[in-house]
Amino acid sequence: MKIINIILLLIGLLSTPSLAQDHVFGDYGFDDRNIEVPAEFLDKEEVTLFLKRKIDIVADEKSVVQYYLHHEKILVNSDEAIEKNNRIYIQAGQTDKFVYNKNRVILPSGDVIELIKDDIHEEVDPESGNKYEYYAIKGLEKGAIIEKLYLLKESPEFKGRMMNFQFSAPIIEVDFELYYPSHLILDYKSYNGLSEAISIDSTAFGKKMLKVTDQNISAANRSEKMANPAKHIKGFRYKLFENTANGNRNFYNYAEFVDGFHPNLAIELKKKEKKALKKFMKPLNLSGDDNTKTLDIEHFIKSNIVYNINYRENGNLVDLINSKQSNLYLLLRLYRSMLLEAGIKSEIVLSCDRFKKIFDKEFETTNHLDEAIIYVPSIDQYIDPTALIYRTPLFGYEYGNNFGLKIKEVEFGGSIMAAAELIEIKLPGMDVTSDTMRIFIDFSEEVDNPKVRSNIHFGGYAAANIQPIVDLVPPDQYDEIIRDIAKNYAADVELDNIETKNGGLENIGKGKFELIIDFHASDLIQIAGDKILFKLGQVIGKQSEIYQTEKRQYPVEIQYPHHYDREIKIRLPEGYKISNPEMLEMYFETKIDGKMEALFDCKYAQDANVLTITNEEYYQAINYPIEKYEDYRAVINAAADFNKIVLILEK
């Protein structure tokens, strides 16, 4: 895969008069200022007194390097903050980059403890086997201040680096400075209310500088349910745009990226590759429409080839087919080639995890092109090549509701060319992830021990969480997992019978997962004189809810659209009636710009001795503005409130 060669780019930066290999942080040291904590932060468990990040790009005729200085002071005000901060980790791979690494603790008494090499310890992650080094801070107490100061010498980052300035603790002072040679021009942007950068054309060091300062930045509430803090935290992004010394400009643009990416992906198969591919595809019966063929190809590849992000042994498709494993690059070639054999065109779409990064369509750069999915135009659906548990139309929901860069092939002068196209990656609608529940509760034989049969169909993403399990775990473990899932819809009572249908990876995308459970509900009954109290709400399973006392910080953003269709029929005992049926009338909605986007609608009707409850619940939109938060919360909490319904049966 040929992308911009960073070494060649850096050589291009050296087309300038001689620059010295000196950085601007030579005499930088600890900060002894007394910083007053504003009233709004006095009750916080932890406060960052200041956060300083400074970068100096230094070049001469032979090399170009970056000096990165990180300096922060943290005030700890609680046992939890002490527990969180009693170690200062040294990032893996950073040890050799340190010019210096200084850390100290200032106790409330005024005593100062400087950490030394003897304070460095090592631990091994038992799962990954990775080693970590850290400074152990002893004697930390409430009111203490931890000061961290280190300087790294590393390779420059020009591709669109994102610097975040909002974390789990509030920050009183933010200071960012970027020094760079005067012959460079940068693009830059502040996000989510961070102060705009000041550009200084000439500093005392003979360089340009970008400077961002801000104050009293509130903590980011990363525990808010159904939110996407990564999209809303304050940050600053910059990238190299032009080198005036040699006339090169518009670095890291999409067109140049695609010109490097596409030729190696679309390279014509060699004879050996064609032969191996034909043999590999022989078991496939590619009949039916494009949707069926796409689904069959995806399932066949995922059943026979293991995705291994670190695998580097394959040189071509022959090696891939023989080794039965592949990294992403050759895997994309395999999908493309097999789809073409079936007469189906496909296009690669590059994007990122929306819960980790911002894909800003207004800021053209390439450092957020982390992940690849495959778009099939003829069926308007995506394939997620690396996700074992998904089949089209399902793909990683973290890539949807986001922007992406599509590599679109066009014919020009008899040749196939590639063009870059920004698109919006839309997730499957709520008709795909649609669950139905049919429950029959029979009191006719035993008033205090009714029989219950629940027939639940899970669709889309909800099904993908369950369907693959049978293929991934031993049978006894599978039975235990299914029993645990079933008990969620039976208030954890002992079950008489469990049946499942459409399990297994081969059924993802083809059929809904069906769960049938039978049980007696004596545990949901309480007798009070001549009345029967029945905990009806528990038969639909535990439901999500949002109860927060603090003011909502972020808009609502859910993982994917979802629809629920529930019907509950209750055969009442002879001579009994429901004395509180009004509990079953529930209606909550959320409209955005006049369009219904979320709904919880529950009603009932009675025919003779059978009471029928119908409930529709759905979340059609993925994003709900913060001014609609209370409406949305009422909808999602309605199902949790239904959980609490107790019907009263009386003669």
Q: Is residue 403 a contact partner of residue 420, using CB atoms and an 8 Å limit?
A: no
Give the model confidence (pLDDT) of 496-511 as tens digits.
999 999 999 999 988 9
Q: Which residue has the higher pLDDT, 129 or 383?
A: 383
Provide the mean pLDDT of the chain. 91
Q: Are strands 586-592 and 595-607 parallel, antiparallel or unpaired?
A: antiparallel
Q: Which of 103, 94, 102, 97 is nearest to 131 (CA)?
A: 94
Residue 11 has pLDDT above 90, yes or no: no
How far does Cα 344 stand from its chain's mean position? 30
Q: Give kind and range of the element (H or E) at residue 617.
A: strand 610-619
Q: Please give the full DSSP string across 524-565, using - where no structure is assigned.
A: GEEEETTEEEE-GGGGG--------SSPP-S-EE-SS-EEEE
CA neighbor of 105 nearest in space, from 84, 136, 129: 136
Q: What pLDDT score was predicted for residue 372?
A: 96
Q: Please give the residue that has the higher pLDDT: either 530 or 338.
A: 338
Residue range 434-650, CATH number: 2.60.120.1130
Which element (helix H / strand E) includes 18? none
- The pLDDT of residue 633 is 95
CA atoms within 13 A on the CB side of 376: 30
Q: pLDDT category, 643, cuts 50, 70, 90?
A: very high
What's the CA dihedral at 30, 35, 38, 40 to 10 degrees?
A: 20
Residue 155 near residue 65, CB atoms below 8 Å:
yes
How do strand 434-442 and strand 562-571 relate by DSSP bridges? parallel
DSSP codes joined into one string, 424-468 = EEPPP-TTTSEEEEEEEEE-SS-TTS-EEEEEEEE-HHHHHTTTT
Cα 409 to Cα 347: distance, rounded to the nearest angstrom: 7
pLDDT at 353 over 60: yes
Instruction: Give yes or no for a contact between 168 and 177, defined as CB atoms under 8 angstroms apart.
Output: no
Question: CATH fold of 6-249, please?
Answer: Immunoglobulin-like (2.60.40)
pLDDT digits (tens, 9 = 90+) for 220-246: 998 899 999 999 999 999 999 999 988
Q: CATH second-level architecture of 254-425?
A: Roll (3.10)
As a whole-number percent, the residues of the chain with pLDDT over 70 amount to: 96
For the stretch 136-159, pLDDT in tens is: 888 899 999 999 999 999 999 898
Tokens for 324? 């039965």
The single-letter code of the amino acid at 438 is R
CA–CA dist 491, 10 (Å, integer): 64
User: How much is the pLDDT for 21?
Assistant: 56
Mean per-residue pLDDT, 578-604: 96
pLDDT of residue 91: 72
Condensed to tens digits (0 to 9), the pLDDT of residues 73-87 reads 999 999 999 999 988
pLDDT of residue 15: 47
Question: Hey, where are the domains in the chain?
Answer: 6-249, 254-425, 434-650
Poorest-confidence range of 23-27, 101-105, 448-452, 586-590? 23-27
Q: Is 110 helix (H, G, I), strand (E, B) or coil?
A: coil
CA gap 302, 313 in Å, rounded: 19
Q: Which two tokens stand for residue 16?
A: 């300038």
Q: What is the mean pLDDT of residues 349-372?
A: 95
pLDDT tier for residue 167 given thresholds of 50, 70 and 90: very high
- What is the reported pLDDT for 635? 96
CA–CA distance, 562 with 472 (Å, rounded to integer): 26
Q: How confident is the model at residue 22 (pLDDT cuts 50, 70, 90)?
A: confident
H helices of 14-165, where? 79-85
**pLDDT band at residue 63 using 50, 70 and 90 as cut-offs:** confident
Lookup: tokens for 151: 């300087």
Q: How confident is the model at residue 8 (pLDDT cuts 50, 70, 90)?
A: very low
Tell me the pLDDT band of 465, cut-offs 50, 70 and 90. very high
Place of tokens 């910083």: 35
Asked if the domains at 6-249 and 434-650 fall in one CATH topology, the answer is no
> What average pLDDT score do residues 571-577 get?
91
Distances (CA, A) of 504 to 326, 469, 472, 507, 543: 23, 7, 9, 6, 26
Residue-level pLDDT at 206: 87
Find out whether 55 and 69 touch, Cβ atoms under 8 Å.
Answer: yes
State the pLDDT at residue 389.
94
pLDDT at 2: 35
Model confidence over 256-297: pLDDT tens digits?
Answer: 999 988 888 888 899 999 999 999 999 998 888 999 999 999
Percent residues over pLDDT 90 in the chain: 76
